[in-house]
Copies of this chain bind each other. A is one copy, B any other.
Amino acid sequence: MNKISKIAIIGLGQVGNYLYRELNLKQKDIQIKTGKKIQIIAISAKNKNKKRKFKINKKIFYKDPIKIIKEFKPDILFEVIGQSDGISKKVVETALKNKVHVITPNKALISKHGDYLGKLAEENNVNLEFEASVAGGIPILRTIKEGLSTNKISKVYGILNGTTNYILSEMRNSKDSFSNVLKKAQKLGYAEPINPKFDLNGLDAFAKVRILSSLAFNIKISNHKCLMEGIEKIELKDIEIANLLNLRIKLLGISEIIQNQLFETVHPCLVSKNSYIGNVSGVMNAVILQGKPVGESILQGEGAGPGPTSSSLLSDLYSILKGNIKKPFGISSSKRKSIKCYNVDNYSNSLYLRFEVKDKPGVLSRISNRLAKYNISVKRLIQTPDKKAKKATIVIITHKTTELNSKNCLLKFKRDKDILKYPTLIRIYN
C-alpha cells in the first residue's frame, strides 16, 4: 500500500454519508493508531445532488463506481449501497479482482455471495471485511474470528434485528397494536418507511444468522431452506398473555449444531422475563455464544444506525491499514466445509398455542382430544371467556413436541368451524 491510502466510498445514503464525515474527522486518530494516512479520493451514489445531512465534496463525486475502481485505483473501497446482487455485487467483484480491499456492511450480499467473494479476495490477496453486516456496532465477527477463535462453538443465537425488538418492546410498554407501533417505529427511523418487510418477516435476521454460522462453525454459508418466521402475526393479546405467564416475546435468530448437522432458524420465542435475553429491549442487539472452553459469552450493543455501523466499518479499515491480510472467514476458503442441514421437522420445543373459539360446549374437549391424538401433552391451560361476544380465548402451553407433529396437528383445526382463526403458535425458548 502507498504511504497515503486512497479510499473510495460507493453509496452515500445514511450510512455512507455518516462514514464520509467520520473518515474526514478521524484522519489524525487513524494516523496515530495505524501509522497510515488516508485520503478519500472518490465517492459515488445514485444522486449527486440529493439533500444529505453532511456536506460532500462534489469535486470527487463520480457517477460510475466501476470507473472509480479502474481509473483511480483506490486502495480500499467501501461498498455501502446494500443490494444483494446488481450493482453492489458488481462493485465488490470488480474491486477485489483489481486488488482493492473491500469493506461492506452489506449482509444481503455477504449472506448470498460471501463464499464466492471471499474466495476472490483470497485469490487476489486483499481483504474483504464485513464486521458491520451483523449486529451493527457489536464487533461480533472479529470476536469469533479472533477473540474466541480457539473455541469450539456449539451454538450462537440472539436478537439480531433492532426494528423487531423495538416493536415488540414498545407494544409491551405502550399496550398498542402492532400496526400502530410499526408506524411509530417508522417515524422514529427504526423501521424502513416504505418497505419494512425484510425486517419484520425475519429475512434480515436470517442473513445475519447465516454469516454467524459460517464463522462460528467454519463452514460454507448455507443455503438450506430453514424455519423462518417474522413478528407480523404477533398480537398485543399474545404479549399481554406472555406477561401474565412471566414471559416475554423476542424474535431470536438461532444457529446450532445438532447431531453434527446445521440448524439455522429465525422465529419469535417466548423467553423468561428474568432471563438475560428477556431484558434486552428497544433497538438493542445481543449475541450469545456457547463455546468450549470459554463457556457462555454475551455481547450486547446498539444494532443499527449510522453511528454503530460506522464504528464497525472503521474497525475494518483500521485492521486493513495495520497491514493485516486476513482470510475473510477466518480460515482459508478451501478448509471451509459444507454441512448437512438438520431436518426442521425434528426441531422440538414447548409451544404456546392460542385458540380463539366460539364459547360453546365441546370445543375445548375437541382441542384437547386432537392434541392427545398427536401425543402433544398439555402443561398448562388458560381459558378466558368473552361472554358478550360468545367467544373464548384458550391458551395452551404444551410439553416439548416436534415441528412435524405440531404442524400436522394444527392443520386439523382448519376445518373446525368453532375455531375462529388459525391457532397462533409461539415456540418457548429455554
- Residues of chain A touching chain B, judged by Cβ–Cβ distance below 8 Å, are 18, 22, 26, 29, 32-33, 35, 131, 137-139, 142-143, 146-151, 218, 274, 276, 279, 286, 291-302, 306-308, 310-312, 314-315, 317-319, 322, 324, 326, 330-332, 335
Contact = CB atoms under 8 A, between A and B. Distances in A.
B319 A146 contact: yes
B32 A335 contact: yes
A11 to B, nearest CB: 18
Contacts of A29: 150
Given A139-B143, A298-B298, A314 B33 contact: no
Given A148-B315, A150-B310, A295-B308, 4 more contacts: A150-B314, A293-B308, A298-B300, A298-B301
A299 B310 CA distance: 19
Given A146-B142, A298-B300, A310 B331 contact: no
11 contacts: A32-B331, A131-B147, A137-B297, A148-B311, A150-B317, A276-B279, A294-B302, A294-B311, A295-B301, A298-B299, A300-B300
A293 B311 contact: yes
Nearest to A143: B139
Nearest to A292: B307
A308 B35 CA distance: 33
B298 A294 contact: no
A292 B335 CA distance: 37
B293 A310 contact: yes
A160 B315 CA distance: 25
Contacts of A326: 322
Contacts of A307: 292-295
Contacts of A143: 139, 142-143, 147
A299 B319 CA distance: 21
Contact of A149 (B33, B147, B276, B295): B33
A55 to B, nearest CB: 18
Given A294-B307, A298-B300, A146 B139 contact: yes
Contacts of A151: 311
A256 B184 CA distance: 35
Contacts of A294: 137, 301-302, 307-308, 311
Contact of A150 (B26, B297, B324): B26
B301 A296 contact: yes
Contacts of A26: 150
A33 B331 contact: yes
B302 A299 contact: no
A315 B149 contact: yes
A332 B311 CA distance: 22
A149 B322 CA distance: 12
A26 to B, nearest CB: 7
A385 to B, nearest CB: 34
A142 B150 contact: no
A222 to B, nearest CB: 20
From A274, A279, A286, A297, residue with most partner B Cβ within 10 Å: A297
Contacts of A18: 293
Contacts of A276: 279, 300
A319 B295 CA distance: 21
B330 A33 contact: yes
